[in-house]
Structure 1
Amino acid sequence: MITLVRRIAVVCALGAALAACGSPQTSRTGRPDPSASSKPTAAAPAEPASSRPPVLPPAAGGLTPVFSHGPRTGGKTVALTFDADMTADQGARAAAGEHFDNPELIATLRALKAPATVFMTGRWAEQYPDQARSIGGDPLFELANHSHSHYAFTADCYGLPAVSADRMRSDVEHAYEAFRKAGVEHAMPYFRFPGGCYDQRALRALSPLGVTAVQWDVVSGDAFATDADAVVRQVLDGVRPGSVVVMHCTRSAAPTTERVVRAVVPELRKRGYRLVKVSDLIGASTGRT
């Protein structure tokens, strides 16, 4: 199993648009950008704390902490993140030829030497295990959890089916198990809520896993977009030092993203930004640089 805070082994066309969640209530910010259980195994031997991925400490009441951007001072850094979305019941569509992956996007990130964090559903990893293993094993990237089912963790989340409270933890654990079966050795202890929707009940349900919930402060608008230039402008207009940009790694639902990346990455660098991973921003926020 993967490494979490205590080395506990735990466990997309887009079904809906994404929006950011702004507080431990069901309120959300940003614009629309649109489960089976698995038991954890015994904990692996502890490794030195310095080699573990940085995470935020628990929030008040022991709730799962939420991260949306890094420090605004201390350097112009930005993290590009990509959601590899696929719901638990979209296998038939994939079998019929719909593409929930985007290998050209990953190839472009590699060609540009642009680090990124990919939030992947377990169902995506099951559909594309070779790609999941390749992304998870490439030091340019880090692979994090986007649930197994891509079902919502709150009610009324952009039309997504909802996972019940008693299955939230197992849904996340199931995704980590899917990563392990695909050959991903070091999935990160970061979790992104499907649709960006969460509340205190969801944060409480995931607290035993020791993950940090990762949101964003820049909505790219790439989901279902057909105008790549408009997405480029939205990203560049929104980026600030420490920003987390949300995009997608799903051809059928975000067909312009590869073109967006080809334009955004050179321009960000021209403006003095350094591209980093989410773990770098969290590390900077916690003093682990």
Structure 2
Amino acid sequence: MPKKVWIIRSKTLKLSFVLLLGIFIVISGLMMNSSFLPVFSTSEGPAAFYRADIDEKKVALTFNISWGEDKALPILDILKEKDVTAAFFISGAWAERHPEIVERMLEDGHTLGNHGYRYEHYPRLEEKEVISDLNLSHKKIKDVTEQDVKYFRPPHGDINEDVLKIIDNFGYSVVHWSVGGNDWENPGVDTIVQNITDEVKPGDVILLHASDSAKQTSEALPIIIDNIRGANYSFVDIEELISQAETNMEEVR
């Protein structure tokens, strides 16, 4: 039987105490099954964000990157040519090795987020190891950007209640995704395009990869952008989606 995982879908960044208590009860009950939970930090406590439940045809484009430079630069060129800004979740180790690409991302107006340092599954680490990885990744990214980035995407999208609390204490807002191209599997350009354009809905957060292991993303990207715009969607910053969001809870099986 597939595992049940509770995540929060964005719709107002307001949760009652009772709802939060219920969430944590569910999470606690799933801990033995190593459940995964994306979180979003609100004034009332941890909650999750993976899409905005809105009617306007707006979507946010996001990329994960933790290795290589060959694919990142063509992707940045395409985004600039298409006049699209995105959010790049970068590992601290990658930022340390490629500061010039990070600077290019900022110059082009993209949002940066933390993607950990060692690209480890956080729930498999000891608490002190998670804290160390968060500290190191934050420091390395700040060394390059001179910014305290505020968004976080867990390595592998993997998180549990204990890790949730640690990340929330750091003050990060964690952004997951609602539509992914599975481009890291290199399934073919047409498949990557279809994985996104066939599923996209208003308020979606789209996930692609800019690491060198994703060999077909740069070829699929302009088609994805053109197809989504052709369906009368606009690309907006992740912060704009979050600002329009309300939270509700959804069970994912």
TM-score, with normalisation over the residues of structure 2?
0.79
Shift of 1:127: 1.2
Structure 2 equivalent of residue 14 of structure 1: none
Q: Aligned residue for 1:40?
A: none
Residue aligned with 1:176, SS? helix
Kindly indicate whether residue 246 of structure 2 is the aligned counterpart of residue 277 of structure 1: no
CA shift digits 1:86-138 (9 cap, x unpaired): 4xxxxxxxxxxx65752111111111111100000001101111111221343
Number of residue-to-residue matches in the alignment: 217
The answer to whether structure 1 residue 168 and structure 2 residue 130 are counterparts is yes
Residue matched to 1:179: 141
1:197-276 to structure 2, matched below 5 A, reads 197-251=158-212, 253-276=213-236
Partner of 2:65: 84
2:210 and 2:226 mapped to 1: Cα distance?
19
Deviations along 1:135-191, one digit per CA (max 9) or x if unpaired, are 13432x101110111111123xxxxxxx32222233122112112222x13353110
1:83–1:248 contact (8 Å) kept in structure 2: yes
State whether structure 2 residue 85 is matched by structure 1 residue 103: no
Superposed displacement of residue 233, structure 1: 0.4
Give the direction of change, closer, same or farther, for the CA distance of 1:28–1:235 in structure 2 (3 Å limit): farther
CA offsets, 1:214-267, max 9 Å, x none?
11111211003141111100101111100011110112x101111111101011
The amino acid that maps onto 2:42 is P
Instruction: Give the counterpart letter for 1:173 in structure 2.
Output: N
Separation in structure 2 between the aligned mates of residue 226 and residue 187 of structure 1, nearest angstrom: 36
Question: How far apart, in 1, do the equivalents of 2:91 and 2:149 lie?
Answer: 13
Q: Is the 8 A contact 1:120 1:145 kept in 2?
A: yes
Whose helix fraction is larger, Structure 1's or Structure 2's? 2
> Aligned residue for 2:49?
67
Per the alignment, do residues 255 and 22 of structure 1 end up closer, same or farther by CA in structure 2, a change over 3 Å counting?
farther
Distance in 2 between residues matched to 1:137 and 1:180, nearest whole Å: 16
Structure 1 gap ranges (5+) = 1-20, 30-54, 87-97, 156-162
Q: Where do 5+ consecutive residues of structure 2 fail to align?
A: 8-26, 248-253
Q: Which shifted more, 98-107 or 141-150?
A: 98-107
User: How many Å separate the matches in 1 of 2:148 and 2:210?
Assistant: 17
Distance 1:286 1:185 in 2: 31
Give the partner amino acid of 1:221.
Answer: N
**C-alpha spacing 1:212/1:115, structure 2 compared with 1 (3 Å):** same
Q: SS where residue 184 of structure 2 aligns? A: coil
Determine the C-alpha separation between the residues in 2 that align with 1:100 and 1:154.
31
Amino acid at match of 2:50: S
RMSD of aligned residue pairs (Cα, Å): 2.2
Paired residue type of 1:76: K
Percent sequence identity is 23
The one-letter code of the counterpart of 1:237 is D
Instruction: Quote the residue 1:91 is aligned against.
Output: none
Residue 247 of structure 1 aligns to a residue whose secondary structure is: strand
Is the 8 Å Cα contact of residues 58 and 65 (structure 1) preserved in structure 2?
no
Match of 1:27 in 2: 35
Q: Is the 8 A contact 2:190 2:220 kept in 1?
A: yes
Q: What SS does the corresponding residue of 2:76 show, helix, strand or coil?
A: helix
- Aligned partners of 1:286, 1:112: CA distance in 2, in Å? 30
Letter in 1 for 2:204: S
* Residue pair 2:41, 2:174 contacting (<8 A) in 1 also: no
Could you tell me which residue of structure 1 aligns to residue 119 of structure 2?
150
